[in-house]
Amino acid sequence: MPLRTESDLNIEPATQPSVQTSFTLEPNDARHLAMLCGQLDSHLRQIESRLGITINARGNQFLLTGPTVNVTAGRELLTHLYAEICQGVGLSPESLHLQLQHAGLENLAETAAAPPTVEPIQVIRTKRVSIKPRGKNQQSYVRTIKHCDINFGIGPAGTGKTFLAVACAVEALLEERVKRILLVRPAVEAGEKLGFLPGDLSQKIDPYLRPLYDALYEMLGFETVNKYIERNIIEVAPLAFMRGRTLNNSFIILDEAQNTTREQMKMFLTRIGFGSTAVVTGDATQVDLPRGTPSGLAHAGNILADVEGIGFTWFGSKDVVRHPIVQRIVEAYDAYEEKTVPLDKSKP
């Protein structure tokens, strides 16, 4: 696996003088320190490659070398991780990757230049779990959902936009701010690939809503979700079935919205009634519409950006919270597309 370098963080070593800082982690517990460093110091190497710094450890004494902002971030991260380990929280390469994502390290220069504005951490509480959004964009996304009637989460796979939308919907339902949850999806694949399978359109589209179901099961439990579906408190609604409806006191999630046409997107957005919140998620780079059919998601982003009450959150490869290789895959595809067919996401 190739190591991330300073260039991955848009760091210019030539313009940033190298500094050293030393500190001591307390209490001096050999077992906890071993967990922090990882097998053969693998955790320290992971932090080094992400931050572009050098870490030397001897017992509970640490020496960090590198650009000032990176060294500062490294010290804060190690101190935070060690405190969690001492409280019984385990540390693995996967959880360390998520910690690095949560730290928002792509904004190191901005963080060092000026202290960030202190804003309350958005924690989503559901029946079975509490969910803490990771990173600046996820926090902003959840904050926007809670304050705007219509919200767009646009970005690559693995950025948590759909999962967080479901979590916000569950929280709103449990707090009785809405009376039902609607899961909506365009039937592009159902029409092209599943037309001869048994069942109605709703049953054919169910497999494509599996990520939403999985999130609901995790937050509410299998029995509760099935009970809500039977009572129509949770409803699966193919986009084609939305025409003519007015949705009051509902939390509506339109997933895979890049596969809507302009007309479908306008139709969906005008279904919103009083007391309702809508979240539209999609990846503008993965459109499955027939060739020559413009995406309603890109069109909406172009004409609704300045409309009051509508919020937009744009995710990038730095926001991917899955395996680190997913982030590199997204970046590689973006780079290839920019070289072959310049992509202007701002235009419909």
Over 94-128, what HEC string results? HHHHHHHHHCCHHHHHHHHHCCCCCCCCCCEECCC
Give the pLDDT confidence of 70-88 residue by residue, as tens digits: 888 889 889 989 988 998 8
Helix, coil or strand: residue 335: helix
Termini Cα distance of the chain: 37
DSSP category for residue 309: T
Pairing of strands 250-254, 277-282: parallel
Distance CA 77, CA 96 (A): 10
Q: What is the dihedral of CA 36, 42, 45, 51, to 10 degrees?
A: -60
Read off the pLDDT of residues 269-299 as tens digits, 9 standing for 90 and up. 998 889 999 999 998 888 888 888 889 998 9
pLDDT band at 324 (very low <50, low <70, confident <90, very high): low
Per-residue pLDDT, averaged over 233-241, amounts to: 85
Instruction: Fill in the DSSP letter of residue 152.
Output: E
Q: What is the largest CA-CA distance in the chain?
A: 68
Residue 9 scores a pLDDT above 90:
no
The residue with tokens 């992400």 is: 50
Domains (range + CATH), the chain: 6-113 (3.30.1370.10), 124-340 (3.40.50.300)
Confidence category of residue 63, pLDDT binned at 50, 70, 90: very high
Positive or negative torsion for Cα 261, 262, 263, 264: positive
Which pLDDT band holds residue 167 (cuts at 50, 70, 90)?
A: very high
pLDDT tens-digit series, residues 170-209: 999 999 999 999 998 887 654 445 555 566 655 666 677 7
Assess contact for 210 and 263: CB atoms under 8 A.
no
